[in-house]
Amino acid sequence: MFKEQFINHIQFERRYSRHTIIAYSNDLDQFFGFVKSVYEIEHIRDVRAPVIRSWVVSLLERKYTAKSINRKLSVLKSYYRFMLREGIIENDPMSKVISPKTSKRLPVFVEENGMNLLLDEIDFGPGFQGCRDKLIIEMFYNTGVRLSELISLQMSDVDTYNNQIKVTGKRNKERIIPFGKELRSSVLKYREVRSAEFMGVVDSGYFFLTVRGKKVYEKLVYRLVNYYLSTVSSITKKSPHVLRHTFATHMLNKGADLNAVKELLGHTSLAATQVYTHNTIEKLKSVYKQAHPRA
């Protein structure tokens, strides 16, 4: 059903990430499998809105969340827009499909005293690994970078002269993020330890390395973040993205401009950043109730 053409489009023209391409491909395979097995449809032109709506119903019956279903529908919308542009179809059935409503969930974050405890009191251990692990936590918390952005950091991307890092985000968009004196000190210490640890070894150029001198990978970073957050917080989700949420929430709690936080996070839409203001408002409500005599 012209899947290969669409995948080539998002890979080479839109320059989507590898993970996004895999997710899109899997969602399309799931949809195509449904229309073939249930309706015996072989061509995309024969798919109508009721067919797509019945797929949504089947997903709901299989306990998929509204958020997951909406993500799949978003893939279909992109796919059908491409089909229209290429002249393969004349009408877009997605225009008659309504997405399920999602409940708004506030971003999970670590309280400020928890982060202070983690960075000031917890022992990360000696040597290269301990130094690296602590800097990874600091980098997430001080800059709000995504996991993929941190893993892909090059040595040349971290500028201690101007106290800033250059990251490559979604759609290969680059942005500059400033950092403070504390992180600069940690970066300089890590560079010194890193250099001594891998003296004489061919340098890959990546900033964060495994103990074997290779580029760090997602599971390793996720595992260490989960472990150290467990030492200071009882929140159920303990991932690198939680540290990104924590960065944004703490910045806004301290009075940072919403547009500035948007730029630091690399969001394309202000709406994506505004979700963090809910946490800020909840904190203000809590302070008000505690402090105001008539609350």
What are the CA-CA distances from residue 63 to residues 57, 67, 75 (Å)?
10, 11, 19
Which one is catalytic: 244, 245, 250, 262? 244
Residue 241 bears catalytic tag: yes
Residue 170 bears catalytic tag: yes
Residue 43 bears catalytic tag: no
Which one is catalytic: 132, 238, 262, 267? 267
Residue for token digits 């690296």?
132
Residue 276 bears catalytic tag: yes
Q: What are phi and psi of 260, to 5 degrees?
A: -65, -40
Residue 166 bears catalytic tag: no
CA 29 to chain centre: 24
Which one is catalytic: 3, 170, 175, 215? 170
Which one is catalytic: 166, 191, 215, 241? 241
Among 66, 241, 216, 8, smallest CA distance to 132 is for 216
Which one is catalytic: 3, 53, 146, 191? 146
Q: How many angstroms separate the CA atoms of 52 and 205, rounded?
A: 47
Gyration radius of the chain's alpha carbons = 23
What are the E-state strand segments in 51-108? Answer: none
User: Which residues are the active-site residues?
Assistant: 146, 170, 241, 244, 267, 276
